Amino acid sequence: MGLAIELDGLRALVTGSGQGVGLGIARTLAAAGAEVVINDLSDERATAAADAIRAEGGKVVTSCFDVTRYDVVETAVKQLGGVDVLVNNAGNAGGVGWPGMKPFAETEPADWEPFLRVNLYGVMNCVRAALPHMIAKGYGRIVTIVSDAGRIGESHMGAYCAAKAGAAGLTRGVAREVGRHGITVNNISLGTMRTPMSEGMWSNPDNQQAKALLRQYMIRRPGDPSDPAGLTAYLASPMASWITGQTFPVNGGYSVGQ
Ligand SMILES: NC(=O)c1ccc[n+]([C@@H]2O[C@H](COP(=O)([O-])OP(=O)(O)OC[C@H]3O[C@@H](n4cnc5c(N)ncnc54)[C@H](O)[C@@H]3O)[C@@H](O)[C@H]2O)c1
Protein backbone atom coordinates (compact mmCIF):
# COMPACT_ATOMS: atom_id res chain seq x y z
CA MET A 1 0.00 0.00 0.00
CA GLY A 2 1.49 3.38 -1.00
CA LEU A 3 1.04 6.83 0.47
CA ALA A 4 -0.37 9.37 -1.95
CA ILE A 5 -1.23 13.04 -1.73
CA GLU A 6 -4.86 13.27 -2.82
CA LEU A 7 -6.17 16.58 -4.14
CA ASP A 8 -9.21 15.16 -5.95
CA GLY A 9 -12.17 17.52 -5.88
CA LEU A 10 -10.06 20.58 -5.04
CA ARG A 11 -9.63 23.58 -7.35
CA ALA A 12 -6.17 25.14 -7.13
CA LEU A 13 -5.23 28.56 -8.48
CA VAL A 14 -1.49 28.94 -9.09
CA THR A 15 -0.57 32.51 -9.98
CA GLY A 16 2.19 33.13 -12.53
CA SER A 17 2.16 29.46 -13.54
CA GLY A 18 2.76 29.89 -17.25
CA GLN A 19 6.40 28.95 -16.69
CA GLY A 20 9.08 28.35 -14.08
CA VAL A 21 8.32 27.49 -10.46
CA GLY A 22 4.57 28.04 -10.89
CA LEU A 23 4.35 25.60 -13.79
CA GLY A 24 6.28 22.97 -11.80
CA ILE A 25 3.82 23.38 -8.92
CA ALA A 26 0.77 23.35 -11.21
CA ARG A 27 1.92 20.08 -12.87
CA THR A 28 2.33 18.38 -9.49
CA LEU A 29 -1.01 19.61 -8.11
CA ALA A 30 -2.70 18.33 -11.27
CA ALA A 31 -0.90 14.98 -10.97
CA ALA A 32 -2.29 14.73 -7.41
CA GLY A 33 -5.82 15.17 -8.79
CA ALA A 34 -6.56 18.88 -8.34
CA GLU A 35 -8.30 20.91 -11.02
CA VAL A 36 -5.59 23.48 -11.67
CA VAL A 37 -6.19 27.07 -12.71
CA ILE A 38 -3.21 28.40 -14.63
CA ASN A 39 -2.86 32.14 -14.21
CA ASP A 40 -0.34 34.35 -15.97
CA LEU A 41 0.00 37.76 -17.56
CA SER A 42 0.76 36.00 -20.83
CA ASP A 43 -2.12 34.18 -22.56
CA GLU A 44 0.34 32.36 -24.77
CA ARG A 45 2.37 30.97 -21.85
CA ALA A 46 -0.76 30.03 -19.91
CA THR A 47 -2.23 28.18 -22.89
CA ALA A 48 1.01 26.27 -23.52
CA ALA A 49 1.23 25.35 -19.82
CA ALA A 50 -2.40 24.17 -19.79
CA ASP A 51 -1.84 22.10 -22.95
CA ALA A 52 1.17 20.42 -21.34
CA ILE A 53 -0.80 19.54 -18.19
CA ARG A 54 -3.77 18.30 -20.23
CA ALA A 55 -1.41 16.09 -22.23
CA GLU A 56 -0.25 14.59 -18.92
CA GLY A 57 -3.89 13.76 -18.09
CA GLY A 58 -4.48 16.65 -15.67
CA LYS A 59 -7.63 18.75 -15.22
CA VAL A 60 -6.78 22.35 -16.06
CA VAL A 61 -8.28 25.71 -17.02
CA THR A 62 -6.66 29.08 -17.62
CA SER A 63 -7.50 32.44 -16.10
CA CYS A 64 -5.21 35.23 -17.26
CA PHE A 65 -5.18 38.31 -15.09
CA ASP A 66 -2.73 40.66 -13.49
CA VAL A 67 -2.39 39.92 -9.77
CA THR A 68 -1.52 43.55 -9.09
CA ARG A 69 -5.07 44.74 -9.88
CA TYR A 70 -7.48 43.94 -7.08
CA ASP A 71 -10.60 44.53 -9.17
CA VAL A 72 -9.63 41.99 -11.84
CA VAL A 73 -8.40 39.47 -9.26
CA GLU A 74 -11.70 39.64 -7.39
CA THR A 75 -13.73 39.26 -10.57
CA ALA A 76 -11.64 36.31 -11.76
CA VAL A 77 -11.90 34.47 -8.43
CA LYS A 78 -15.68 35.06 -8.39
CA GLN A 79 -15.97 33.75 -11.96
CA LEU A 80 -14.15 30.60 -10.89
CA GLY A 81 -16.67 30.18 -8.06
CA GLY A 82 -13.82 30.46 -5.56
CA VAL A 83 -10.78 28.26 -5.11
CA ASP A 84 -9.89 25.69 -2.44
CA VAL A 85 -6.15 26.13 -2.86
CA LEU A 86 -4.32 29.35 -3.65
CA VAL A 87 -0.62 29.28 -4.50
CA ASN A 88 0.78 32.82 -4.61
CA ASN A 89 3.69 32.29 -6.98
CA ALA A 90 3.58 35.23 -9.40
CA GLY A 91 6.61 37.36 -8.75
CA ASN A 92 9.47 39.17 -10.33
CA ALA A 93 12.59 37.73 -8.82
CA GLY A 94 14.77 40.48 -10.23
CA GLY A 95 16.82 38.74 -12.87
CA VAL A 96 20.31 39.78 -13.88
CA GLY A 97 20.09 43.30 -15.25
CA TRP A 98 16.64 43.93 -13.75
CA PRO A 99 16.28 47.70 -13.27
CA GLY A 100 16.34 48.53 -9.60
CA MET A 101 18.91 45.83 -8.72
CA LYS A 102 21.47 48.12 -7.20
CA PRO A 103 22.56 49.29 -3.76
CA PHE A 104 19.50 50.57 -1.93
CA ALA A 105 21.19 53.94 -1.36
CA GLU A 106 21.23 54.40 -5.13
CA THR A 107 17.58 53.52 -5.75
CA GLU A 108 14.69 55.91 -6.28
CA PRO A 109 11.19 55.29 -4.94
CA ALA A 110 10.08 54.54 -8.51
CA ASP A 111 12.51 51.57 -8.56
CA TRP A 112 10.71 49.94 -5.61
CA GLU A 113 7.27 49.94 -7.21
CA PRO A 114 7.55 46.90 -9.54
CA PHE A 115 8.77 44.69 -6.70
CA LEU A 116 6.18 45.79 -4.15
CA ARG A 117 3.30 45.67 -6.61
CA VAL A 118 3.72 42.05 -7.66
CA ASN A 119 5.42 40.37 -4.70
CA LEU A 120 3.46 42.07 -1.92
CA TYR A 121 0.27 43.68 -3.24
CA GLY A 122 -0.23 40.83 -5.71
CA VAL A 123 -0.27 38.36 -2.82
CA MET A 124 -2.53 40.58 -0.69
CA ASN A 125 -4.98 40.93 -3.59
CA CYS A 126 -5.23 37.18 -4.19
CA VAL A 127 -5.50 36.26 -0.51
CA ARG A 128 -8.19 38.91 0.04
CA ALA A 129 -10.18 37.73 -2.98
CA ALA A 130 -9.93 34.02 -2.14
CA LEU A 131 -10.66 34.11 1.60
CA PRO A 132 -14.43 34.79 1.60
CA HIS A 133 -15.01 31.69 -0.57
CA MET A 134 -12.73 29.56 1.62
CA ILE A 135 -14.40 30.79 4.80
CA ALA A 136 -17.85 30.01 3.36
CA LYS A 137 -16.66 26.49 2.48
CA GLY A 138 -14.82 25.87 5.74
CA TYR A 139 -11.73 24.68 3.86
CA GLY A 140 -8.78 26.47 2.36
CA ARG A 141 -5.08 26.14 1.74
CA ILE A 142 -2.89 29.12 0.93
CA VAL A 143 0.79 28.69 0.06
CA THR A 144 2.88 31.76 -0.72
CA ILE A 145 6.20 31.47 -2.51
CA VAL A 146 8.63 33.79 -0.81
CA SER A 147 12.40 33.99 -1.00
CA ASP A 148 15.51 33.53 1.09
CA ALA A 149 16.35 37.02 -0.15
CA GLY A 150 13.56 38.31 2.10
CA ARG A 151 14.13 35.80 4.91
CA ILE A 152 17.91 36.10 5.21
CA GLY A 153 18.73 39.18 3.13
CA GLU A 154 20.37 39.75 -0.23
CA SER A 155 22.29 42.80 -1.37
CA HIS A 156 21.11 44.90 -4.32
CA MET A 157 17.57 43.58 -3.85
CA GLY A 158 16.28 45.72 -0.99
CA ALA A 159 12.80 46.37 -2.33
CA TYR A 160 12.36 42.74 -3.40
CA CYS A 161 13.52 41.58 0.05
CA ALA A 162 11.05 43.96 1.68
CA ALA A 163 8.18 42.78 -0.52
CA LYS A 164 8.85 39.09 0.09
CA ALA A 165 9.28 39.62 3.84
CA GLY A 166 6.00 41.55 3.80
CA ALA A 167 4.20 38.71 2.04
CA ALA A 168 5.60 36.25 4.63
CA GLY A 169 4.28 38.51 7.39
CA LEU A 170 0.84 38.61 5.78
CA THR A 171 0.81 34.80 5.95
CA ARG A 172 1.46 34.82 9.70
CA GLY A 173 -1.18 37.47 10.42
CA VAL A 174 -3.89 35.89 8.27
CA ALA A 175 -3.10 32.38 9.53
CA ARG A 176 -4.08 33.51 13.02
CA GLU A 177 -7.42 34.83 11.77
CA VAL A 178 -8.58 31.96 9.61
CA GLY A 179 -7.43 28.75 11.31
CA ARG A 180 -10.83 28.43 12.96
CA HIS A 181 -12.40 28.24 9.48
CA GLY A 182 -10.32 25.22 8.45
CA ILE A 183 -7.91 27.36 6.44
CA THR A 184 -4.13 27.04 6.64
CA VAL A 185 -1.69 29.66 5.36
CA ASN A 186 2.02 28.92 4.89
CA ASN A 187 5.11 30.18 3.07
CA ILE A 188 7.72 28.31 1.07
CA SER A 189 10.99 30.23 0.97
CA LEU A 190 13.06 29.43 -2.10
CA GLY A 191 16.75 29.60 -2.68
CA THR A 192 18.17 30.25 -6.13
CA MET A 193 16.20 28.47 -8.83
CA ARG A 194 16.85 27.60 -12.44
CA THR A 195 13.84 29.02 -14.30
CA PRO A 196 13.38 30.97 -17.55
CA MET A 197 13.97 34.11 -15.50
CA SER A 198 17.49 33.06 -14.48
CA GLU A 199 18.35 30.77 -17.40
CA GLY A 200 20.87 33.24 -18.84
CA MET A 201 22.99 32.96 -15.72
CA TRP A 202 22.87 29.15 -15.40
CA SER A 203 23.38 28.32 -19.06
CA ASN A 204 26.71 30.17 -19.12
CA PRO A 205 29.33 27.80 -17.63
CA ASP A 206 31.72 30.73 -17.04
CA ASN A 207 29.25 32.87 -15.11
CA GLN A 208 31.12 33.85 -11.93
CA GLN A 209 27.94 34.87 -10.10
CA ALA A 210 26.47 31.40 -10.65
CA LYS A 211 29.68 29.70 -9.48
CA ALA A 212 29.88 31.85 -6.35
CA LEU A 213 26.22 31.19 -5.55
CA LEU A 214 26.54 27.43 -5.84
CA ARG A 215 29.41 27.36 -3.36
CA GLN A 216 26.89 28.47 -0.71
CA TYR A 217 24.50 25.56 -1.36
CA MET A 218 25.04 22.18 0.37
CA ILE A 219 23.31 20.55 -2.61
CA ARG A 220 25.42 22.10 -5.36
CA ARG A 221 22.82 22.83 -7.99
CA PRO A 222 20.18 25.52 -8.44
CA GLY A 223 16.63 24.60 -7.47
CA ASP A 224 14.36 23.01 -10.05
CA PRO A 225 10.64 23.92 -10.25
CA SER A 226 9.88 20.36 -9.16
CA ASP A 227 11.74 20.92 -5.85
CA PRO A 228 9.06 22.98 -4.06
CA ALA A 229 6.20 21.24 -5.90
CA GLY A 230 5.87 18.16 -3.66
CA LEU A 231 5.84 20.26 -0.49
CA THR A 232 3.25 22.58 -2.00
CA ALA A 233 1.02 19.62 -2.86
CA TYR A 234 1.35 18.30 0.68
CA LEU A 235 0.54 21.70 2.24
CA ALA A 236 -2.43 21.98 -0.12
CA SER A 237 -3.83 18.64 0.98
CA PRO A 238 -6.18 17.72 3.83
CA MET A 239 -3.19 15.85 5.38
CA ALA A 240 -1.57 19.17 6.36
CA SER A 241 -4.51 20.45 8.41
CA TRP A 242 -2.43 21.18 11.56
CA ILE A 243 0.38 23.09 9.85
CA THR A 244 -0.16 26.82 9.54
CA GLY A 245 1.59 30.17 9.88
CA GLN A 246 4.96 28.58 8.98
CA THR A 247 7.78 29.29 6.54
CA PHE A 248 9.48 26.26 4.98
CA PRO A 249 12.85 26.80 3.31
CA VAL A 250 13.37 24.81 0.09
CA ASN A 251 16.89 25.87 -0.69
CA GLY A 252 19.40 23.03 -1.10
CA GLY A 253 20.70 23.72 2.38
CA TYR A 254 21.57 27.39 1.84
CA SER A 255 20.52 28.00 5.44
CA VAL A 256 20.39 25.55 8.34
CA GLY A 257 17.26 25.47 10.49
CA GLN A 258 17.10 24.79 14.23
N1 LIG B 1 13.98 32.21 -9.69
C2 LIG B 1 14.53 32.26 -8.47
O3 LIG B 1 15.75 32.09 -8.29
C4 LIG B 1 13.66 32.54 -7.28
C5 LIG B 1 14.23 32.54 -6.00
C6 LIG B 1 13.43 32.76 -4.89
C7 LIG B 1 12.08 33.00 -5.07
N8 LIG B 1 11.55 33.02 -6.32
C9 LIG B 1 10.12 33.30 -6.45
O10 LIG B 1 9.49 32.21 -7.11
C11 LIG B 1 8.37 32.69 -7.86
C12 LIG B 1 8.45 32.20 -9.29
O13 LIG B 1 9.67 32.63 -9.86
P14 LIG B 1 10.18 32.12 -11.29
O15 LIG B 1 11.66 32.12 -11.22
O16 LIG B 1 9.44 30.91 -11.69
O17 LIG B 1 9.76 33.37 -12.19
P18 LIG B 1 9.50 33.47 -13.76
O19 LIG B 1 9.76 34.90 -14.10
O20 LIG B 1 10.23 32.41 -14.51
O21 LIG B 1 7.94 33.18 -13.89
C22 LIG B 1 7.00 34.02 -13.24
C23 LIG B 1 5.69 34.01 -14.00
O24 LIG B 1 4.83 34.94 -13.30
C25 LIG B 1 4.13 35.72 -14.25
N26 LIG B 1 3.79 37.01 -13.67
C27 LIG B 1 4.63 38.03 -13.37
N28 LIG B 1 3.94 39.08 -12.92
C29 LIG B 1 2.62 38.71 -12.91
C30 LIG B 1 1.43 39.37 -12.56
N31 LIG B 1 1.44 40.64 -12.15
N32 LIG B 1 0.24 38.69 -12.66
C33 LIG B 1 0.23 37.41 -13.10
N34 LIG B 1 1.34 36.74 -13.48
C35 LIG B 1 2.53 37.39 -13.38
C36 LIG B 1 5.13 35.90 -15.40
O37 LIG B 1 4.44 36.21 -16.61
C38 LIG B 1 5.83 34.53 -15.44
O39 LIG B 1 5.22 33.63 -16.35
C40 LIG B 1 8.38 34.20 -7.71
O41 LIG B 1 7.52 34.60 -6.68
C42 LIG B 1 9.82 34.50 -7.32
O43 LIG B 1 9.94 35.72 -6.64
C44 LIG B 1 12.29 32.77 -7.43
> Does any ligand 1 atom lie closer than 6 A to the CB of residue 198?
yes
**What is the pairing mode between strands 183-190 and 247-250?**
parallel
Q: What is the pLDDT along the chain (258 residues), one digit of tens a residue?
A: 799 999 999 999 999 999 999 999 999 999 999 999 999 999 999 999 999 999 999 999 999 999 999 999 999 999 999 999 999 999 987 554 555 678 999 999 998 999 999 999 999 999 999 999 999 999 999 999 999 999 999 999 999 999 999 999 999 999 999 999 999 999 999 999 999 878 888 998 899 988 998 999 999 999 999 999 999 999 999 999 999 999 999 999 999 976
Q: Is the CB of 20 under 6 A from ligand 1?
A: yes
Nearest residue (by CA) to ligand 1, atom 19, is 197
Domain ranges of the chain: 11-250
Closest CA to 95 of 202, 205, 16, 15: 202
The pTM score is 0.97
**Which H or E run includes 250?**
strand 247-250
- CATH architecture entry for 11-250: 3-Layer(aba) Sandwich (3.40)
Smallest CA separation from ligand 1 atom 38, residue: 16
Residues 6+ apart with CB under 8 A from 46: 17, 18, 38, 39, 40, 62, 64
Identify which of 113, 195, 216 to mutate to test ligand 1's pocket (most ligand atoms within 8 A of the CB). Answer: 195
